[in-house]
Amino acid sequence: MDQILAHISQNAAGDWRIQSLDDHANGVADLAAKFAAQFGMSAWGSELGLLHDQGKRRSNFQSYLKRASGFDTSTPPGGEHTHAAIGAISASQIYAPFEPLVSAPIAGHHAGLYDYCEQKKLLQQPLPPDYTPMQYSARSSELAAEIKRLPGLRPEHFHHLTRMLFSCLVDADFLDTERAMNPAEYALRGHHASMQQLQQLLHDHLDHLTAHATRSAVTAIRAKVQQQCIATAGAEPGFFSLTVPTGGGKTLASVLWAIDHAAANNLRRIIIAIPYTSIIIQTAAVLKRIFGEENVLEHHSNFDPLDDHKAKLATENWDYPIVVTTNVQLFESMMSNRPAACRKLHNIARSVLILDEVQTLPTTHLKPIVQCLKAYQSMFGTSVLFTTASQPVLSGTISCGDRRSEFSAIDHITEIIPAQWNLHHRLRRVAIEHIAAPLSYDDIANRLLQHPRVLCIVNTRRDAKAIFDRLSQSPDAITLHLSRMMCPRHLETTIADMKHALADPNQPIRVVSTQLIEAGVDIDFPVVYRQEAGLDSVLQSAGRCNREGRLAQGIAYVFSLSDAILPKGQISRANDARLSLSADADYFSPQVISEYFRQLYARCNNFDCKNIAKYLNNPTDIYYKTAAKEFQLIDDNSVDVIVNFDNSPDLVDQLRRFGISYSLMKKLARLSVNVSRFNLDQLLNERIVAEILPGIYYAENPAQYDPKCGLLPDNQHLNDILIC
């Protein structure tokens, strides 16, 4: 074998697949150039592809490859054989004026993007004596020209450019390797409908809905909103908002605008980022019915694509025309340093990004999130659509309690729905009333018992359980409890039971829930009670009341609890911001909502709580790995506990006998409850939970899992002993 090799593998039949380094480098260069062309940097993609694996020209690496693969065990050991660093050093010498942009993606294409100090040490190493430099003609003028043409490149955006080039390289590397070494799997990728075909499917669907819709004021408004989305979709890419009150058909209207906008501007895909898995599941189900499962990708923790290998492959790089995912998956990928997480980033370029329920973006990370969005819009041609019934303030200068955290947000956001339409007034179907005196658990339970059909939403799992326990003895109605003490499968079946009961207008039903039901669950109660919280939460809860407008007016009561202290932190700050509004403020008014968010921001301590800007905003001193570790939208201070529900004992038995597998852990995640590490220690001390494998916990006693309320925090075995 005279060739310098990139990959060797043997299949189950014993046949060898061999890819030369030249073939691999050229294949990666072609793919990376294609990906980077979406934002005008095809030459950069090509050069990174050609240079990324040049470290494999080492004789030590060639010996290692042949021995490790079993292809030629007679090859003598070659000693140290790393290759990524060698490629980065070589590239930095060829393209010294473009440091560190040229070397960082190559150095990290296996291990991930490094912190600046690590990268600097790596590049200071000498090239090893067993490395044979390739003959190379630099294209410096082309690279310089592409950098100059890139719009919107600012110092704080430089790390996004590096990460985007990194995405082009690592996805091209994975795909070319797969194409050569596993062609059957590679053949499953792609083959989707065009944006124009999806556009026709959606318009046909909406025409069908219109033809069969019952004529009403609400359906007329929904139709008008859709027509406005069609009329404005031809605008050039930028920032847009679709502010439509609950019941106005916001979900389909936003997708309609996005697809028409993509078709008009030759954009490539629609990415819908949603804060709650319950909304994702519901939204994805609707879109799959319209566009077909082969065109809609779900990517979230509760979705198991094992039965659809094509979808599983697509979760790696989002190569689908419509992607429905979580805010966590989206933004943590944008800030990641890892190849697996960053593969998808280049497919966000020249796409339409819909941020649903945008008011839920965490204020503690608002500055780096907004900077992400500004970079993707200005440099990579992504259009961003904010959708909600309560639009936060995301333009102009945003200030908080600490003026040092003040930052310049988005210059201009185009609202799709004209303010003079007064949708908040025309779609008003509920009155919000405040209960002045604090209520005890008994008080609120007695109030709920006066209503045959009522929903009560509280802030904590403890409060939900306490109120539910006071209702559960009532024989005259279906009484349901919803909280995260219930595993996802249990929650889904309970929500399905609730919807089934609500479909019968004569069926009494009372539901006590935490805020998990505030958004994304399509339900309609005549009366809703909401424990005091921020204005956005109150409005979301009110959106579950008289949703379809069957009553002249529904009622949403806002109350406080005398038996419970409002949790400190975000909930308390949001509630204080709401209470700062004037007593006669119209909660549904866009002006009042804007004032609420200004009051909320003023009560925040910091818009960049982990100081991500310190790690990323200096182009010559970027700490990718540290920033990725620090940027967590949800603090990783919790643990999943498997509960004894449904078939979990059988699955746990498989886990004990055969060990961990991707498929098994996906199934067990649907049968797990998330608890804080503090609560986990208590559960372990009381022997409610046991660690069955390192880092895997199980509440085995079936008595610890209530079929109505979920995981019980008190030891039921000890209770039984005391009762006896």
Nearest partner of 177 among 375, 377, 18, 333, judged by Cα: 18
> Are 354 and 214 within one domain?
yes
In a domain, 604, yes or no: no
Q: Where are the alpha helices (DSSP H) in 53-157?
A: 59-69, 84-94, 103-107, 116-123, 140-149
Instruction: Say what the pLDDT of residue 308 is.
Output: 66
How far apart are the C-alpha atoms of 406 and 412, rounded to whole Å? 18
The total number of residues written for the chain in this structure: 724
Here the CATH number for the domain that contains residue 487 is 3.40.50.300
Whether residue 719 is predicted with pLDDT greater than 70 in this model: the reply is no
Contact between 517 and 523 under an 8 Å Cβ cutoff? The reply is yes
Say which range, 338-352, 446-460, 505-519, has the weakest mean pLDDT. 505-519
122-181 pLDDT, tens digit per residue, is: 999 999 998 888 888 889 999 999 999 999 899 999 999 999 999 999 999 999 999 999
Same domain, 581 and 477: yes
State the pLDDT at residue 445: 96
Q: How far apart are CA 564 and CA 570, in angstroms?
A: 16
* pLDDT tens-digit readout, 82-133: 889 999 999 999 999 998 999 999 999 999 999 999 999 999 999 999 888 8
529: left (phi over 0), alpha (psi -120 to 50) or beta: beta
Same domain, 269 and 417: yes
* pLDDT confidence of residue 57: 92
438-445: long-range contacts (C-beta < 8 A, 24 or more apart)?
Answer: 438/559, 438/560, 438/561, 438/562, 439/559, 439/560, 439/561, 439/562, 440/561, 440/562, 440/563, 441/466, 441/467, 441/470, 441/561, 441/563, 442/470, 443/562, 444/529, 444/559, 444/561, 445/470, 445/471
CA distances from 27 to 7, 110, 313 (A): 13, 18, 20
> What are the strands, taking DSSP E only, across 98-243?
239-243
pLDDT (tens digit, 9 = 90+) per residue, 202-226?
Answer: 999 999 988 887 787 888 899 999 9
* β-bridge partners, 555: 431, 527
Tell me how many degrees the CA angle 419-421-423 measures, rounded to the nearest 5: 95
Residues 651, 643: Cα–Cα separation, whole Å = 11
Q: What is the mean pLDDT of residues 350-362?
A: 93
Q: What are phi and psi of 476, to 5 degrees?
A: -90, -5
What is the value of pTM for the model shown?
Answer: 0.90
Q: Are residues 436 and 563 in the same domain?
A: yes
What dihedral do alpha carbons 58, 63, 65, 71 form, nearest 10°? 150
Give the CATH number for residue 179. Answer: 1.10.3210
CB 171 within 8 A of CB 346: yes
Number of CB atoms found within 10 A of residue 692's CB: 14
Q: How far apart are CA 579 and CA 601, in angstroms?
A: 14
Same domain, 461 and 355: no
What span, in angstroms and rounded, lies between the C-alpha atoms of 141 and 139?
Answer: 6
- By the 10 Å C-beta count (0-12 exposed, 13-18 middle, 19+ buried), 523 is classed as middle
- How deeply is 25 buried, as exposed, middle or buried, from its count of CB atoms within 10 A (0-12, 13-18, 19+)? buried
Q: What is the pLDDT of residues 232-264, one digit of tens each?
A: 999 999 999 999 987 788 899 999 999 999 999
Whether 449 maps to a domain, the answer reads yes
- Asked if residue 477 and residue 352 are part of one domain, the reply reads no
pLDDT bucket at 1, cuts 50 / 70 / 90: low
170 and 268 assigned to the same domain: no
Which amino acid, 254?
S
Burial 334-362 (b: 16+ CB within 10 A, else e): bbbbbbebbbbbbbbbbbbbbbbbbbbbb
What Cα–Cα distance (Å) separates residue 193 from each residue in 68, 201, 271, 320?
Answer: 42, 10, 15, 9
Structure-model confidence comparison of residues 718 and 529, the more confident one? 529
Q: Is residue 602 one of the residues assigned to a domain?
A: no
- Is residue 330's pLDDT more than 50? yes
- What is the reported pLDDT for 73? 83
Q: What is the number of other CB atoms lying within 10 angstroms of the CB of residue 26?
A: 15
Average pLDDT over residues 384-392: 90
Whole-number Å distance between alpha carbons of 308 and 400? 46
* pLDDT level of residue 699 (50, 70, 90 thresholds): very high
On whether residue 173 sits in a domain, the answer given is yes
Given 166, 186, 206, the domain boundary residue is 186
Strand ranges (E), 661-724: 672-676, 690-693, 696-699, 705-706, 710-711
Domain boundary among 552, 587, 622: 587
232 lies in the same domain as 170: no
Token digits of residue 574: 């949001």
Residues 6+ apart with CB under 8 A from 532: 558, 559, 560, 566, 575, 578
Is 600 contained in some domain?
no
pLDDT at 718 over 70: no
Tell whether 163 and 264 lie within a shared domain. no
Residue 310's DSSP bridge partners are: none
177: left (phi over 0), alpha (psi -120 to 50) or beta: alpha
pLDDT at 305: 60
Domain final residue pick, 545, 571, 587: 587
Query: Which tokens sit at 376?
Result: 């993707």
Question: Element (H or E) spanning 170, and its range?
Answer: helix 158-181
User: Which amino acid belongs to residue 181?
Assistant: M
Q: How confident is residue 723, by pLDDT bands cut at 50, 70 and 90?
A: very low
pLDDT at 715 over 80: no
- pLDDT: is 707 or 475 the higher one? 707
Q: Is residue 323 part of a domain?
A: yes
- Taking residues 181-186, report their average pLDDT: 90
What are the beta bridge partners of residue 386? 241, 355
SS3 408: strand
308 and 352 assigned to the same domain? yes
Angstrom distance (rounded) from CA 278 to CA 266:
31
| Cα gap 324→274, rounded to integer Å | 8
255 vs 387: CA distance, rounded Å:
10
Q: Using alpha carbons, select from 516, 488, 480 the residue that is nearest to residue 642.
A: 488
Same domain flag for 12 and 133: yes
Mean pLDDT rounded to a whole number for the chain: 91
Q: 386 to each of 293, 347, 392, 450, 539, how far by Cα in Å?
A: 25, 19, 9, 39, 17
pLDDT for 306 equals 55
Q: Which amino acid is at 184?
A: A
610 domain-assigned:
no
Asked whether the predicted pLDDT for residue 71 surpasses 80, the reply is yes
- The dihedrals phi and psi of 690, each to the nearest 5 degrees, come to -125, 150
Report which of 334, 362, 328, 366 is spatially closest to residue 347, judged by C-alpha positions.
334
Which residues span the domain enclosing 648? Answer: 638-723
Place of tokens 């599941």: 281
Give pLDDT, residue 307. Answer: 58
100, 119 Cβ separation under 8 angstroms: yes
724, pLDDT greater than 50? no
Closest by CA to 157, choosing from 325, 30, 28, 39, is 39
**Cα–Cα distances in angstroms (integers) from residue 213 to residues 219, 252, 395, in the given order:** 7, 15, 37
Please tell me the total count of domains within the chain. 4
Q: Copy the structure tokens of residue 118.
A: 């690590």
Q: Are 721 and 703 in contact (CB under 8 A)?
A: no
* Dist. CA 216–CA 60, nearest whole Å: 75
Whether 119 contacts 103, CB under 8 Å: yes
If asked whether residues 692 and 653 sit together in one domain, one would say yes
- Quick one: tokens of 628? 């990725």
Instruction: Please report whether residue 437 resides in a domain.
Output: yes
Collapsed DSSP state (helix, strand, coil) of residue 433: strand
Q: What is the pLDDT of residue 213?
A: 79
Structure tokens, 545: 């009341």
Q: Is the separation of the CB atoms in 701 and 713 below 8 Å?
A: no
Which residues, at least 6 apart from 266, have a Cβ–Cβ distance to it below 8 Å?
350
